[in-house]
Amino acid sequence: MRDPALPEHEIVARIEAALYSAGRPLTLDELVKASGTNSKEKTRRIVNDLAKKVKSTFRAIEIAQLEDGNYVLQLRPEYTPLVRKFAQHPLLPSGALKTLSYVAYEQPVTSKRLVQIRGSQVYSHIKVLEQLQFVEHENLGRLKVYRTTTKFQNYFGITDLNAVKSRLMNTTTTTTSAPATTRKANKQLQQRSTTKHIPSSAASTTTASAAGDGATEAQLPEKT
């Protein structure tokens, strides 16, 4: 509902509520809808003012504008270790998180390949990941081919998946195996998830997932 007569403090409150509850970056258009106005310029100004107020008031939380122009309420990266100590309820079990990282950095990947690397329990992982809309598939004959979704990129704050994959591959040697590469992918996802959009409850649960796997680097070939 848009009301041109909305007082500015109400518009600010609506934008705060949207950023807090989203658990992911929001586009300017989404923030315009949440604000109850029709003005992108007004919404942008309010978000930028709000970001300055958050910066001057809080030390661990920030409103950041990402490279793609989206805005997110998130924990500052330097407080990641503290979050790991207190997070309790993971959104993703460690096994599903490992499977997600494999799909993210090796996509497109077939169901046959996933079973070879992750074991038959990968089907339960994929079911969870598709329910969360982090992964999608298309049928290729009798096989299914899996890829990550736009929601996955938004949720983990990945603005250019191809660039991330390219940087990752460039840092590996020619003798690096695919499992070794995806171990690094899993670690990167863990790091990203622990700096997510606190205090959003969805972000807190994903942080806990990373905390559960963070003690040792994930060994993707293990069927766990």
Query: Which whole number is the average pLDDT over 40-52?
Result: 95
Residue 172's φ and ψ, nearest 5 degrees, are -95, 155
Q: Quick one: tokens of 194?
A: 């622990």
Among candidate residues 35, 54, 75, the one where a domain is terminated: 75
- For the chain, the average pLDDT equals 76
Rounded distance, CA 183 to CA 101, Å? 8
218 located within any domain: no
pTM over 0.75: no
Q: How far apart are CA 72 and CA 59, in angstroms?
A: 16
Is residue 174 in a domain?
yes
What tens digit of pLDDT does each residue of 182-205 get?
555 565 565 555 444 443 333 333
Q: CB–CB of 73/61 below 8 Å?
A: yes
pLDDT, tens digit (0-9, with 9 covering 90-100), for 59-85: 999 999 988 888 999 888 888 777 777
Residues 68 and 162 in one domain: no
**Domain membership of residue 13 as a residue range:** 8-75
Q: Domain for residue 188, yes or no? A: yes
Provide the number of structural domains found in the chain: 2
User: What pLDDT score was predicted for residue 153?
Assistant: 83
Nearest to 89 by CA among 216, 209, 192, 199: 209
Is 99 found in the same domain as 152? yes
pLDDT at 54: 94
Report the pLDDT value the prediction gives residue 214, as an integer from 0 to 100.
Answer: 34
pLDDT tens figures, 107-163: 899 999 999 988 989 999 999 999 988 999 999 888 899 999 988 887 777 777 777
Q: How many Å from the N-terminal Cα to the C-terminal Cα in the chain?
A: 48
Q: How far is it, in rounded angstroms, from Cα 126 to Cα 84?
A: 25
Residue 2 in any domain: the answer is no
What's the pLDDT score for residue 180? 53
Residue 194 falls within a domain, yes or no?
yes
Helix (H) or strand (E) holding 158: none
In this structure, the answer to whether residues 57 and 100 fall within a common structural domain is no
127 and 71 both lie in a single domain: no
Are 135 and 172 members of one domain? yes
Residues 99 and 62 in one domain: no
pLDDT at 189: 62
Query: How many alpha carbons lie under 13 Å from residue 62 in its C-beta half-sphere?
Result: 13
SS3 of residue 118 by DSSP: helix
Question: Do 200 and 100 have their domain in common?
Answer: yes
CATH code, domain carrying 98 = 1.10.10.10
| Band of residue 29 on the pLDDT scale cut at 50, 70, 90 | very high
Same domain, 47 and 133: no
Instruction: State the pairing for strand pair 143-148/71-75.
Output: unpaired
